């Protein structure tokens, strides 16, 4: 089977690192490039972190491109309180041997969509949607060339995690999210409602560490740092492993359940800025524009995640 071509747009982040590792460990996927965006930490760090993760995985053949350093219309909000000041606190960090590409991330996405056959490239969005929205605004004609966008962002029954109503990725750049959700591209959305069911319990992290290979051990160290914030916040054994759900969807969609809905992004209210208004019960009469995932077989997810990282 021909591997599915993907671009990973990301702001690493320990859970972003987990998603990148899962993708690089999966022969069903061809990672054409990784594009960094400011989000969990500023762009200089997210771009460095992406390169570091590829090197840890022995995949420095995958190019990394730096993209937007600020949201479209707002000041950057970051999440060092969750991920640490580097974005990947919990492990020893280093400068990647392969330098960043000189091409801007937005230009790379545009040229890739133009050069690859129409409908073959999936955009995997793990952070704020600034880069992808910038692509669609700059060259509207490439919108129809995208196969699908699979993104981690938003919430509905679970509310938000940065404000009572907004999830972090959408909150950082709600205008970008609004552009993407109005684009007409097929969207699969992994909100907090599903990611909060994928918990890095002690038993699961121990299983990951028992793989024994370097990437698995590094990821286990990252998760032990990362989960402390959510354990204190939610009172759970482990924290949500948000971003790898995007990659898991591409590998085994049958482990997930959801439905097609209309999703609108709040960009005007100070109180609910960045909220994803999901018409789950189909009461608004608006056109469906996303497949919204709500449930996951978490054991099946972690069986896949742990097995694949053991291959790196």
Spot the catalytic one: 83, 104, 196, 242.
242
Question: CB–CB of 304/247 below 8 Å?
Answer: no
State CA 286 to chain mean position distance: 26
* Calculated CA dihedral for residues 298, 304, 307, 312, nearest 10 degrees: -120
State residue 161 phi and psi, 5-degree precision.
-125, -5
Using the 8-state DSSP alphabet, how is residue 159 labeled? -
Establish whether 242 is a catalytic residue: yes
User: Which active-site residues does the annotation give?
Assistant: 242
């Amino acid at each position: 089977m021909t591997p599915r071509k993907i671009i990973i747009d990301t702001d690493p982040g320990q859970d972003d690192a987990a998603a990148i590792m899962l993708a690089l460990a999966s022969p069903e996927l061809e990672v054409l490039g990784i594009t960094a965006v400011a989000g969990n930490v500023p762009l200089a760090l997210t771009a460095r972190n992406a390169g570091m993760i590829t090197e840890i995985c022995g995949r420095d053949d995958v190019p990394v491109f730096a993209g937007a350093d600020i949201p479209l219309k707002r000041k950057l909000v970051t999440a060092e309180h969750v991920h640490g000041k580097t974005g990947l606190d919990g492990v020893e960090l280093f400068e990647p041997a392969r330098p960043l590409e000189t091409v801007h991330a937005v230009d790379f996405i545009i040229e890739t969509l133009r050069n690859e056959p129409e409908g073959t490239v999936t955009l995997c969005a793990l952070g704020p949607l600034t880069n992808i929205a910038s692509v669609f605004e700059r060259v509207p004609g490439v919108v129809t060339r995208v196969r699908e966008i699979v993104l981690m962002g938003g919430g509905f029954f679970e509310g938000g995690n940065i404000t009572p109503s907004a999830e972090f990725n959408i909150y950082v750049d709600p205008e970008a999210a609004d552009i993407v959700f109005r684009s007409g591209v097929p969207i699969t959305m992994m909100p907090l409602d599903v990611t909060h069911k994928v918990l890095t319990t002690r038993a699961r992290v121990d299983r990951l560490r028992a793989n024994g290979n370097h990437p698995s051990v590094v990821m286990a160290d990252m998760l032990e740092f990362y989960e402390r914030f959510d354990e204190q916040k939610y009172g759970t054994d482990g924290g949500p492993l948000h971003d790898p759900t995007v990659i898991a969807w591409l590998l085994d969609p049958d482990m997930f359940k959801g439905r097609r809905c209309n999703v609108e992004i709040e960009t005007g209210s100070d109180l609910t800025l960045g909220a994803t208004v999901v018409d789950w019960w189909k009461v608004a009469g608006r056109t469906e524009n996303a497949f919204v995932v709500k449930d996951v077989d978490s054991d099946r997810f972690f069986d896949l995640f742990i097995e694949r990282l053991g291959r790196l």
